[in-house]
Structure 1
Amino acid sequence: MTRTGSQRPLLSLVAVLLAVLTTLGIGPGIGTPIAAAEPTGSGSAESNGPKFLKLSLDSVTPTSITATSDPYFVVSGTVTNIGDRPVDDVSIRIQRGAPVTSPSGLRSTLRLDQINYDINGEFQDVAEQLTPGQRKQFSLTVALRAGTDLPSGISSLDIDSPGVYPLLLNVNGQPAYGGQARLDDARFLLPVLGVPGAADPKHATAQPTPSAVDAPPVATTMLWPLADRPRLVAGQPGAPDGQALLTDDDLAASLAQGGRLDQLLSALESMIKPDSGRDRSLVNAICLAVDPDLLITVSDMTRDYRVLASPSDPDGPTRSGAGSHAAKAWLERLRALAPGMCVVALPFAQVDPTALAAAGDVTLTDRALNAPADLIDSILTVKSVRGVAVPDAGTVDTEGATLFAHHGFTTTVLADNAVTTGDARANLISAKTPPGGGTEPGTPDVVNLADVTVPPAAGATPPAAPAALHAATFDIWAATALAAIGSNPPTPPFTPDKVRYDVTNDSRAARLQDALGAITWTALNPQPGRARSALLVPPQQWGANRDEASAVLAQLDLLVKNGLATPRPFTDLLAQQPDPQGFQLDYPSRAADDAVPARYAEPVHQQAQRITELMSALVDVPQQELSPRAFLNPLRDDLIRVLSLSDRRAGAATADTNAQRRLDQTTKTMDNLFGSVTVLPPGGVYTLASEQSPLLLVARNDLPVAIRVRFKIGAPAETNITDIGEQQLPAKGNRSFQIPTEVSDSRNLVIPIALTTPDGVPLGNAVSVSVRSNAYGQVLAIITACACALLLLLVGRRLWHRFRGQSDPADEEFDPGTQDRVTRNRRARKRDMKEQEAR
C-alpha cells in the first residue's frame, strides 16, 4: 500500500519513538536495536538479531577490466525482503577497499567489516518500500577513475592502477518499527588488468594505464576435472549380457544438455573452436583429469540399464534408465575432444589413499591407482599421462604417499600448504597476514618429499638408488576460490581454518568474481622468491556451469593476450627438477576429519582377499564369453567405492550409510558366489557293487566362468578313497566324477564330501553321503581262511598215510573188488604207455 504525504510525518515520529524504546530494550518484540542489525554476507559475523533484507550480486559486466575496457562497469543485483515486516527507503551503494597485496588477502578481505571498504560511492535508491517476500533488481553503473564531471547516478571507485580490488555492495533501509540501518552487504573481487582512460576527458589521468608488471608471464597450467560420485549399485558382478544397475538416474540429467558434465565439456569445446577468438595455445595449458569410475558408468549407460526405484533399497524394484541417448552423445563428444588434449586419470572413484593403504590389499590398490590410466586409454583411445597421482583432497598423509610411491608413481599433486620444510617456513599462515600488505613465503612448483621414497625399478642396470617422491604444488587460494564456483560449493580441507566461512551466503556471481580475482592475482603481483607459475586445480566434482567455466577460460585467455601469462603443459610441469630442499608432508586435521573412517579397512581387506582367492580358482577359457577378470573386477570396484571421499561431501552420516550399504551388498554377493559351486547330494543310501567300486559324484558350477576345484572327502577308517586331484568344472554346468573307493565294511558309512579351490578355500556347502557295500568284509575273510586251513589238513593226512604205505582211513569203506579192478586198469595203462614208447 502507498502511503500519503500526511501519513509519512506521523509514521516517522512513531518510528523514532520506537527506535528509542528499542534501544532501551523495551521495544515491541525486538531485543536488539534495529540500527545494530548485522549484514548476512560472507564478511560479517552472524547476528542473533532479526534479518530484514538479503542482498545478492547477479552480475558484473565486464567481469575483468583492461586498459581497453569502457571507463564504466555495471554491477547488477537483487534485494529481497526476507523479514516479517516492510522495509522503507531501500538504497544501495558500492564501496571498495585497498587492492589485495598478499595471496591470503584474496580470502581474508572478504571477511572484513565494511569500514575497511573506505572508498564509498553514493547511495542509489532501489525501492521506496519492500514488503515481506518482495524482491527488486537493480543496476549500478560505476566509473573506475575519479572524475569531476560524472553523469548523475554514477559513482567513482578512484581506481588508477591495476590490481585485484575487493568491492562491497551495501544496502540500507528502514524496517517498520526501526530506524535507518545497514541491513546486508555483498562482497566480491574485481580483477583490473589495466585501467581504461577516464570518462571525463578533462581529468588529469585520462590516458589508459595498462599493466606494467616487471616480471615474466606466469606459466599457467590447469586441470579440468570430469568426475562424479559413485552411481553403480554394489554387488553386481560382470555378466556377458547383464544390465547395469544404478542407484539413481541423476547422472543422466548431468550428461544431458544443460547438465553439469555437459556444460563442463561444452566450455572446453567452445574454447577449441576455430571461431572462438581464443588463443589457440591456451589448450596446451589444460589437462583433462578424468575419473575412470565415471567413464565405466557412462559406458554402461550407453546400453539399456536399470535404476533403483528407491536408492536406499538395493534389493528393491527397479525401473528402466532414461539416459542412454545422453550417455552415448556425451561419450562421443569426449572421445572426439580428448585425443587433442592432455589427459590424466584420477584415482578410481575419488578413493581415499589413506583408507586404501589401511586396507592393505595389493590387488585392490592396483585396481584403484594403476588400472585407471589403462581404463581411460581404452575407453577414450588416448595415451594418458602416467606416473602422477591426483588425490581428491589435495593432501595426503605419509601412508597414502608411500602407497603412491610403491605403486609406481613418481609425482603427486598437492596443495602448497600440504608440504612444509623442516623449519616450517613454507607454511602459509594466511590468516595472520595483515590485509593491507606483507609478503608470504611460497612453495616451489615441484618439491621432494624427503620422507617418502620411490623404490627403484626392478631389473634396473646399474641398480638405482631409491628416489624421493615428488609433489607438484598448486595455489590453495585459487583452488579455494575455484571450488566455490557453481552449485553446492565445498570448502576444501586444505583451506586454513581462520579464513573458512560458508560460501553459500554469497551469490554464484560473487563467487565467480572471487575466482577470477584469485587466478589473476599472481599475474599482477610478482613476489620476491616466488616462482612465476600457477597450477590451477578445481575440485574433482566441480559444480561450474558452462558460463562460469567459460568465464574462467576467458580469464586465462585474457591474461595470455595481455602478456601476463603463458600456457604451460602439464607434462612440462611434471618434468621440472624439484627444489633441492627436502620437504615433508603436512596432513591437515581437517582432511583427517573428512577421511574415510578406519573401521572400514578390515572388512574391505577381508572381502578383497576373498575376491583374490576366487579369482585364482577361475579359469579363462577361450570359448567362454566372460573372463574371470571381467567377472570379478566390478566387485573390486565396489570395495574401492566403499573408501570413496565423494559421498562424504554430503555429510558423514550419509557417507557412512552409503559405504556400509556397498560393503554389505558386496559381502552378500561374495557369499553367493562361493556358494554357487557345490557337490550335489545323491539322496538316500549309495550302494557300492563291490568293495572296490568307485564312488560316483556330481558337482555343479552356477558361475558364468569355469573354475578349478578339489574334492575334500573325510574318509572313515573302513574306507580308502583316492584323491583325484584338481578338476575343472565348466561354466554354468555339471560334471560327474568317479572317485576310486575301497570299502572294507558292509555296514552303512557316512562320508562327508565338500569342494574347495585348489588353495583349499571352501566352496558351496558340504554334503554327507551314506554308503553301503555288498562286500562281506571280515566274515568273508575268516571263512576263506578256515576253508584253506581245512583243505591243507586233509591233503597232509593223505600224503602221510601214503608215505607209510597205509591206506587212507577215508578209503576203508571202498569195495575190494572195485579196488582190484582199479589197480589192474592202472597197471594196464602203464604197460600200454611203455610199449608205445618202445616202438
Structure 2
Amino acid sequence: MSQLIDASQARARTLSRNRWAALVAALALAVLNIGLSGPATAEPTGIGDASSTPKFLKLTLDSVTPNTVTTSSDAVVTIAGTVTNIGDRVVDDIEIRTQRTGAITDPRGLRSALRLDQSSYTVNTPFVDVARELNPGQRKQFTLRMGVRAASKGSASLDITAPGVYPLLLNVNGTPAYGGQARLDDARFLLPILGLPGDSDPKSTPPVSAPTEAPVATTMLWPLADRPRLVAGIPGSVNGKALLTDDELAGELATGGRLDQLLGALESAVHPDSAGTGANLANALCLAVDPDLLLTVSDMTTGYRVLASPSDPDGPTRDGTGTDAAKAWLNRLRALSSTMCTVSLPFAQVDLSALAAVHDAALTARAITSPADLVDQILSIKSVHGVSLPESGSFDADAATMLGQQGFTSAVLADNAVAPAGTAGTSSSSGSSVHTATPVSVNSSTAAPSTVRLPGPTPPAAAAPANGTSTVTADPGMKVSTFDIWPATALAAVGSNPPTPAFTPENVRYDVSKDSRTARLQDALGAMSWTALNPQPNRPRSQLLMPPQQWSANRDEASTLLTQLQTLVHSGLATPRSFQDLLAAQADSHSYEVRYSSGATTDAVPNTFIAPVQLQAGRITDLMKTLVEVPQQEPTPRTFLTPLRDDLVRSLSLSDRTSTGSQADTAAQRRLDQTTTALDGLFRSVTVLPPGGVYTLASEQSPLLLVARNELPVAARIRFKIGVPSGTDITDIGEQTLPAEGTRSFQIPTKVSDSRSLTIPISLTTPDGIALGNATSVKVRSNAYGSALAIITACAGALLFLLAGRRLWRRFRGQPDPADEGLDPGKRRRLNKYLRARSRVLQRQETP
C-alpha cells in the first residue's frame, strides 16, 4: 500500500515539475518575444468556438448504437469514436463528454443546429477520461454509454423526455504541452428519437411513443447515375467498340463498387419477405436512372476499349475489364426495375437552364425527351414519362418554357426553387443566357407547398362566338412537386464524396467532409425523421426524399437509410406513397413561379459553353439533312450522328460541379473540342477529287468530267458549286447522291465559246449550301475557235463553191479556164486532189 502511495506522490511531483517547467519556458519566450507555434488559447472550461482554437486533436465518430431510438430499442445509447493527436506536441489529460441541446422545432435547425456554439448544448454528461497522454500521431478509441431518459443520480444520461430530433455534441478536452487545458475539438450529429423506451419496470417508467394520428405520406427516389465516361468525337458505327475515358465504371459495377452497393441495398429492401414488408416499402420508392449510364453500361456488355491516359484521347488504348460486371449489373437492374416504379433522369445530368439557352430543338429532344424512351428500350419496361428531375433541383424561366414545349407536365424541384408569383425576383433573358439569381438564406427560406403549379402562357384573345361563349382556354402550365431541402442536403452528405447541393442556403454551407461518415449518416437519419415527428400547421403531411443523383453512399449507409424509412412506416409515423400518386396530387390553389437561386448559378454550366455548343449542334443538324437513309443499310444517319449530339449534351452536364476541386470545366471543354474536331473531319470526308494536270475540251460543247468521293458510311446528298469564267456556260446538274464509302463520276455540260486556257474553281456543298470537303480547281484548255473562225470558214467555203462552179460551167461549155492555162495536167490532178482533201477536212471541223 505504501508503495502505491509513494508512486502516486512521485507521479504528482513529476506532473508538478512539468507544469512549472512549461510555465517558466512560456514566460521566457514571452520576454524574448518569441512566439510559440500554435499556442493553446481556448478557455479551460471548454466553452468557446472550436473553429477558433488550434487543432491538436481530431475527434472522429465511429458508431452510434442505436442510431435511432424507438420504444423497443435499447434504453442506453453507446457512442464509439477515436481521438487522434494531429498536432506537433504531446497532449495530456484527454477527456470527453456528451452534450445536447433541445429538440429541433424548425426544419432549418437540421442544418443550423450543427453549427451552434457548444455553449448552446446545455445538457451535459460527466467527462470521461480517455487517455493520460497522446503523442503526435497516436490515436485512442473510446466508448461512451449514457441513458436516453433521466437516470439515477451520478449516472450519465441525455435526460430526454419526449420524441424528437436532438442535436448532440462530443466535446474533447486536453492539455497540450506548453499550454493549459482547453476544448480541442468536437463532433456534432443528430439523434432521432422516434419513441422513448421504457424502464425494466414498465409501471414506473412506461414507453413514450410519438403521435401517429397523422402519418406523413413519404416517397423516396433512388438515383443511379454516373459522370459521363464515353470518349467524345466518335460517330456511331455497326461493329465498332465503345471507347471509355477510364475503367473506373467497371469497378463501380463490380461487387463492392458504388453502383453495385446502391443496387444491392435496394434489392434487399424491396425483396418481399414473409411479412410482405419489402413489397410495402417498394411502394414508397422509385428508381431514378440516368440514360447515359445505361447507354454506357449497355455498350460495355459487348466489349469496349479504355484510354491508356484519360487526358490523351488520341493516345493508345487497352481492353476494358468490366464486360462481365456490366452484364450482371444490367441484368439485375432489368429484373428490379420490372417490379417497381422507374423514372428517367435528364441525359447525363444536363443543366436544363444551359440547354434552354442553346435553343436547339434536336439537342433538346435528345437531352430531355429521348431519355424516357432509352430507359424503356434498354430495361424493357414502361417508365414514368412526362416528368423532369433536374440535377440541381431548380431551373430558370426559360427552362420551364422549354419543358412545357416538349410536352412535360410535371417537374420535381427543391421547395425553395419556387415562390409565390411576383415574389421570386428572378428573371432570365431569353437568348442571352444571363440569369438574375436571388440569394436564398436560411432565415428567409419559406418552404413551398408539396405541389404547386407554374402558370403556362396565356393564349391570345379570340372573338367571342355569337352565342356569347368562348372556346379559348389557358394552358394549365406545369405541375411541380417539391422536396424538402433539409433532408436532401443531409442525404447528399452521406457517402465518400459529399457535395453541398446548389439549393442549400448560403449561410448554412460548410465543408461537410470534415465530419465523419457516421456523423453525416446520423444527420441524414434525423433529417428523414423530422417531418414525421413534427406536424406543421397548414402544411400537408407529405414528404419527398431526394438524394443527389450521383450518390456516393455505400451499401451499409444505403441500407441504414432504407431501414429508417421502413421503421417510420412500421411505427405508424409514415405511410408509403407511390411516385405516381405524388405526381397526381392536387396543386396548391395559388400561382407560383420559379426562383433561380445564386447557388444554382454558381454551380451551373458557364455561359462560355453556350455559343460553341449551339454552333456545333447546328452543324450536326446540317449534316443530318445531307445524309440519306438507305433501306437495309446500317448505320442510318440518325445512329451515325446521335453519339456526337450526345457528346454536346454531356458538355452541359452538371456532374461533379458541386464537388470540391472539380475539373468539370476542363472535361467539358475537352469533350467539346473533340466533338468539333470530329465534325470537321466528317464535313471534309465528302469532297470533289482534284483531276490533276490540264483537262482538254475537244470542242466548245464537250462536257466537264468530275469525280466526287464520300468516305462516310452513310450516303450523302451533294451539290456542285462551280465558278463560271466569262465566255463559258456550265450547267448546274442539281442535287446528286454519293454512295456510302464510294466515289462517283459526273459529266457537267459545258460550253466554251473560244479557244483558251481556263481555271475553274469547284467545290461541294450540302443541298442547303453548307461547304463540304476541300475546294479545288480544274485547269481547262479548249480547242474551240469561236464565232470569228466560223465566219471565215463559211466565207472560204462559199468562195470555194463559187470557184468550183465557175470551173465546171466553163468545162461544160467547152471553154478552157484561164487559170488552167500553162498548167501541167499532172499538177492539175494533184491540185484537184489537194482541194478535195482540204474540203473534207473543213467539213469534219464544221460537224460537231
Residue aligning to 2:179: 178
Quick one: distance in 2 between partners of 1:326 and 1:725?
53
Corresponding letter in the other structure for 2:501: P
Alignment identity in percent? Answer: 62
Q: 1:378 and 2:377 equivalent?
A: yes
Q: 1:646 and 2:651 equivalent?
A: no
Residue aligning to 1:610: 619
Shift of the alpha carbon at 1:113?
Answer: 1.5
Residue aligning to 1:229: 227
Quick one: distance in 2 between partners of 1:422 and 1:219?
27
Give CA deviations for 1:719-769 in whole Å, capped at 9, x if unaligned. Answer: 322222211111111112222222333322222221111111111011111
Equivalent residues of 1:19, 1:33 under 8 A apart:
no
Q: 1:29 and 2:36 equivalent?
A: yes
Tell me whether 751-760 or 556-565 shows the greater mean CA deviation: 751-760
Residue aligning to 1:346: 345
1:655 pairs, out of 647, 664, 678, with 664
Q: 1:90 and 2:88 equivalent?
A: no
Quick one: distance in 2 between partners of 1:452 and 1:178?
69
Equivalent residues of 1:171, 1:184 under 8 A apart:
yes
Quick one: distance in 1 between partners of 2:785 and 2:421?
86
Corresponding letter in the other structure for 1:113: D
2:246 pairs, out of 231, 248, 251, with 248
Equivalent residues of 2:457, 2:474 under 8 A apart:
no
Please give the secondary structure, in 1, of the residue aligned with 2:775.
strand
Give CA deviations for 1:214-243 in whole Å, capped at 9, x if unaligned. Answer: 4x2111111111111111111111111112
Equivalent residues of 1:143, 1:156 under 8 A apart:
yes
1:104-183 mapped onto 2 (5 Å cutoff): 104-148=108-152, 155-183=156-184
Residue aligning to 1:738: 747
1:750–1:144 distance in 2 versus 1, CA, 3 Å:
same
1:134-533 mapped onto 2 (5 Å cutoff): 134-148=138-152, 155-198=156-199, 201=201, 205-214=204-213, 216-275=214-273, 278-422=277-421, 424=423, 431-432=442-443, 442-450=447-455, 464-533=473-542
Tell me whether 475-484 or 337-346 shows the greater mean CA deviation: 337-346
Query: With structure 2 as the length reference, what TM-score do the two structures score?
Result: 0.88
Equivalent residues of 2:40, 2:176 under 8 A apart:
no
Quick one: distance in 2 between partners of 1:385 and 1:38?
58
Residue aligning to 1:759: 768
1:696–1:637 distance in 2 versus 1, CA, 3 Å:
same
Equivalent residues of 1:16, 1:179 under 8 A apart:
no
Tell me whether 509-518 or 622-631 shows the greater mean CA deviation: 622-631
1:583 pairs, out of 584, 592, 598, with 592
Corresponding letter in the other structure for 1:415: A
**Structure 1 residues not aligned, in runs of 5+:** 434-439, 815-839
1:821-836 mapped onto 2 (5 Å cutoff): none
1:226–1:80 distance in 2 versus 1, CA, 3 Å:
same
Quick one: distance in 1 between partners of 2:142 and 2:612?
58
Please give the secondary structure, in 2, of the residue aligned with 1:275.
coil
1:792-807 mapped onto 2 (5 Å cutoff): none
Residue aligning to 2:794: 785
Please give the secondary structure, in 2, of the residue aligned with 1:750.
strand
Residue aligning to 1:55: 59
1:812–1:349 distance in 2 versus 1, CA, 3 Å:
closer
Corresponding letter in the other structure for 2:390: P
Corresponding letter in the other structure for 2:762: I
Please give the secondary structure, in 2, of the residue aligned with 1:376.
helix
Please give the secondary structure, in 2, of the residue aligned with 1:579.
coil
Tell me whether 753-762 or 788-797 shows the greater mean CA deviation: 788-797
1:726–1:45 distance in 2 versus 1, CA, 3 Å:
farther
Tell me whether 22-31 or 769-778 shows the greater mean CA deviation: 22-31
Shift of the alpha carbon at 1:88?
Answer: 1.9
Equivalent residues of 2:40, 2:54 under 8 A apart:
no
Equivalent residues of 1:22, 1:33 under 8 A apart:
no
Query: With structure 1 as the length reference, what TM-score do the two structures score?
Result: 0.88
Please give the secondary structure, in 2, of the residue aligned with 1:512.
helix
Quick one: distance in 1 between partners of 2:26 and 2:502?
43
Corresponding letter in the other structure for 2:132: E
Please give the secondary structure, in 1, of the residue aligned with 2:306.
strand
1:740–1:10 distance in 2 versus 1, CA, 3 Å:
same
Equivalent residues of 1:406, 1:454 under 8 A apart:
no
Corresponding letter in the other structure for 2:192: P
Corresponding letter in the other structure for 1:412: A
Shift of the alpha carbon at 1:386?
Answer: 1.3
Quick one: distance in 2 between partners of 1:454 and 1:21?
84
Equivalent residues of 2:439, 2:599 under 8 A apart:
no
1:679–1:483 distance in 2 versus 1, CA, 3 Å:
same
Residue aligning to 1:46: 51
Quick one: distance in 2 between partners of 1:649 and 1:149?
49
Equivalent residues of 1:798, 1:808 under 8 A apart:
no
Corresponding letter in the other structure for 1:240: V
Shift of the alpha carbon at 1:302?
Answer: 1.4
Shift of the alpha carbon at 1:810?
Answer: 5.4
Shift of the alpha carbon at 1:716?
Answer: 2.1
Please give the secondary structure, in 2, of the residue aligned with 1:307.
strand
Please give the secondary structure, in 2, of the residue aligned with 1:334.
helix
Corresponding letter in the other structure for 1:132: P
Corresponding letter in the other structure for 1:181: A
Shift of the alpha carbon at 1:623?
Answer: 3.0
Shift of the alpha carbon at 1:179?
Answer: 2.4
Quick one: distance in 2 between partners of 1:24 and 1:813?
146
Quick one: distance in 1 between partners of 2:49 and 2:265?
34
Please give the secondary structure, in 1, of the residue aligned with 2:590.
strand
Give CA deviations for 1:16-63 in whole Å, capped at 9, x if unaligned. Answer: 6746986999387156444449999xx95622x431111111111121
Shift of the alpha carbon at 1:651?
Answer: 5.4
Quick one: distance in 2 between partners of 1:508 and 1:333?
28
1:137–1:808 distance in 2 versus 1, CA, 3 Å:
farther
Equivalent residues of 1:234, 1:635 under 8 A apart:
yes
Equivalent residues of 1:408, 1:454 under 8 A apart:
no
Quick one: distance in 2 between partners of 1:454 and 1:554?
49
Shift of the alpha carbon at 1:111?
Answer: 0.9
Shift of the alpha carbon at 1:653?
Answer: 7.0
Corresponding letter in the other structure for 1:292: P
Equivalent residues of 2:103, 2:167 under 8 A apart:
yes
Equivalent residues of 1:37, 1:51 under 8 A apart:
no
Equivalent residues of 2:164, 2:192 under 8 A apart:
yes
Quick one: distance in 1 between partners of 2:657 and 2:424?
32
Quick one: distance in 2 between partners of 1:419 and 1:770?
68
Tell me whether 19-28 or 552-561 shows the greater mean CA deviation: 19-28
Quick one: distance in 2 between partners of 1:696 and 1:328?
54
Quick one: distance in 1 between partners of 2:338 and 2:347?
21
Give CA deviations for 1:261-293 in whole Å, capped at 9, x if unaligned. Answer: 111101111012233863422111111111111
Quick one: distance in 1 between partners of 2:226 and 2:673?
22
Shift of the alpha carbon at 1:650?
Answer: 4.2
Shift of the alpha carbon at 1:455?
Answer: 12
1:698–1:463 distance in 2 versus 1, CA, 3 Å:
farther
1:540–1:198 distance in 2 versus 1, CA, 3 Å:
same
1:38–1:590 distance in 2 versus 1, CA, 3 Å:
farther
Quick one: distance in 2 between partners of 1:145 and 1:187?
20
Corresponding letter in the other structure for 1:707: A
Quick one: distance in 2 between partners of 1:652 and 1:405?
35
Shift of the alpha carbon at 1:64?
Answer: 0.8
Corresponding letter in the other structure for 1:259: G
Equivalent residues of 1:754, 1:766 under 8 A apart:
yes
Quick one: distance in 1 between partners of 2:45 and 2:412?
41
- What is the alpha-carbon root mean square deviation over aligned residues? 3.1
